[in-house]
Amino acid sequence: MSNTQTLDRTTAGAIVLLTRLARSVYRHVDEDALGMKYKEYVMLSVIGEFEGTTQSQLGKVMGIDANMVVLLLNALEERDFAVRERDREDRRRHIVKITPAGRKAVVRAERALEAVTDDALSGLDSDERAQLRTLLAKALGDGQFAASVTG
């Protein structure tokens, strides 16, 4: 790209743009301020959103393998942010739940992400940011897409 070319226009699709934005945010997150690793935060957020999910479902929703799920859950459990319990209907499975300490940690982490979010979305006004969030939530179908992946 030449110096005279601007980044105002792109031919990239929405998913490519979302991926680029997500990667940019990931690079700029201060994990010390976050209070945990960014991947742990993402998993904890998913656990909070899909209360009572299984380890297998977490792996599918997050797009990570079973070993990584276990490593992240171990870290979250060590800090009392999440807990695994045996599924009463299928003792082979674990149900994962967020703890009260985990909910507080998510709130703290979200506050720490505000500055990164402000930087990442600096080209949008507050109405556009609200619209973006609404559209992303709608695209995810309030978990329907994730549920279809885990099915």
Q: What is the pLDDT of residue 7?
A: 52
CB burial class (10 A; 0-12, 13-18, 19+) of residue 44?
buried
Tally the domains of the chain. Answer: 1
Q: What is the pLDDT of residue 10?
A: 64
Whole-Å CA distances, 49 to 23, 96, 103 = 22, 11, 10
Q: What is the pLDDT of residue 110?
A: 92
Q: Give domain status of residue 12, yes or no.
A: no
- Residue spans of the chain under pLDDT 50: 1-6, 145-147, 149-151
CB 59 within 8 A of CB 65: yes
Q: What is the pLDDT of residue 13?
A: 86
Q: What is the pLDDT of residue 61?
A: 85
Domain that holds residue 92: 30-150
The amino acid present at 57, given as its one-letter code, is: Q
CATH number at 61 reads 1.10.10.10
Q: What is the pLDDT of residue 41?
A: 95
Q: What is the pLDDT of residue 151?
A: 43
